[in-house]
Amino acid sequence: MIVNIIGKMLSQAGVKVSESWKEERKLAQTSWGPWNLVKRQKGVIARSVLLRPGGPLASELARHPVVLKVDDWVFCHGGLLPHHVTYGIEKINNEVSKWMNNVGENDESQIPFIATRGYDSVVWNRLYSRDTTDLEDYHIEQIQSILDTTLQVVGAKAMVVGHTPQTTGVNCKYNCSIWRIDVGMSSGVLDSRPEVLEIRGDKTRINHKK
């Protein structure tokens, strides 16, 4: 698989943005005046314009799939369930792409429900990534069974998900058939250090920022 990315120029821009962001964050923590609130409101408006269906950033994101299968690994934000696979992964990806590009009528009914709406949708599902310390054994066995069925139907040996921050860092569960990689790097979540799950053939390795 070949993926085109911006290298040197993006890293240089990233340093400048990062320093600017640190300074703005410091000011934000010490000043909650009217002007600061106005700036925050403008940020929310700008974000909504960029990410609304047909917006510049939404159109860019529409180029990427909601569910991606590479060899015998499947990747998604929240978690794939058997009925998602039955509905059709390609169909889900196409529907979300069209919605984000604002293709067709701009109607609430056009929002791809199975992918983006509801607690068991592809992007909101937390079944595989939730903490299991408060679950009974039979609950854990049920989740394992659902995961095994999903992987069997989709033809994969393991799934990689995010969405639910993991306080212990990147980890695997259910005989390592599910990898949970959301470490909550955002300062508004866990402010944790970056971690990367590296997959090389049948081997996996967790890389930590030193």
Mean pLDDT for 13-21 is 39
- Domain boundary (8, 40, 61) is at 61
Domain count, the chain: 2
Any domain includes 25: no
Distance of CA 128 to the CA centre of its chain: 14
At 123, phi and psi to the nearest 5? Answer: -90, -15
Any domain includes 2: no
Of the pLDDT bands very low, low, confident and very high (cuts 50, 70, 90), residue 12 is very low
Which pair of structure tokens corresponds to residue 114?
Answer: 């199975």
Measure the CA–CA gap between 74 and 181, rounded to whole angstroms: 13
Any domain includes 9: no
| Closest to 160 measured CA to CA, from 66, 91, 74, 59 | 74
Above pLDDT 70, what percent of the chain?
77
Question: Is 95 found in the same domain as 53?
Answer: no
Question: Is 128 found in the same domain as 38?
Answer: no
| Closest to 193 measured CA to CA, from 170, 176, 171 | 170
Choice among 45-49, 131-135, 201-205 with the minimum mean pLDDT: 45-49
Q: Which strand (E) or helix (H) includes residue 208?
A: strand 203-208
Any domain includes 7: no
Question: Is 170 found in the same domain as 99?
Answer: yes
Q: What's the CATH number where 120 sits?
A: 3.60.21.10
| Closest to 93 measured CA to CA, from 60, 127, 116, 117 | 116
Q: How many CB atoms lie within 10 A of CB 85?
A: 20
Question: Is 154 found in the same domain as 166?
Answer: yes
* Backbone torsion region of residue 173, taken as left when φ is above 0, otherwise alpha when ψ lies between -120 and 50, otherwise beta: beta
Question: Is 54 found in the same domain as 131?
Answer: no
Question: Is 41 found in the same domain as 135?
Answer: no
Mean pLDDT for 138-157 is 96
Mean pLDDT for 168-187 is 93
Above pLDDT 90, what percent of the chain?
51
Of the pLDDT bands very low, low, confident and very high (cuts 50, 70, 90), residue 176 is very high
Any domain includes 173: yes
- What is the pLDDT at residue 85? 96
Question: Is 74 found in the same domain as 55?
Answer: no
- What is the pLDDT at residue 10? 26
Q: 85-126: per-residue pLDDT in tens?
A: 999 999 999 999 999 898 765 555 478 888 888 899 999 999
- What is the pLDDT at residue 109? 46
Confidence check: pLDDT of 6 > 60: no
Measure the CA–CA gap between 49 and 27, rounded to whole angstroms: 25
Confidence check: pLDDT of 3 > 70: no
At 206, phi and psi to the nearest 5? Answer: -100, 120
Mean pLDDT score of the chain, rounded to an integer?
A: 81
Question: Is 110 found in the same domain as 42?
Answer: no
Q: 33-82: per-residue pLDDT in tens?
A: 555 655 767 788 888 888 888 899 889 888 999 999 999 999 999 999 99
- Domain boundary (20, 39, 61) is at 61
Mean pLDDT for 126-136 is 93
Question: Is 204 found in the same domain as 114?
Answer: yes
Q: Which strand (E) or helix (H) includes residue 146?
A: helix 137-154
Any domain includes 22: no
- Domain boundary (61, 80, 115) is at 61
Question: Is 70 found in the same domain as 38?
Answer: no
**What range defines the domain where residue 49 resides?**
31-61
Which pair of structure tokens corresponds to residue 210?
Answer: 């030193």
Question: Is 100 found in the same domain as 51?
Answer: no
Mean pLDDT for 141-156 is 97
Question: Is 159 found in the same domain as 184?
Answer: yes
Measure the CA–CA gap between 71 and 136, rounded to whole angstroms: 34
Any domain includes 179: yes
Choice among 55-64, 141-150, 168-177 with the minimum mean pLDDT: 55-64
| Closest to 73 measured CA to CA, from 178, 172, 144 | 178
CB 100 within 8 A of CB 133: no
Any domain includes 5: no
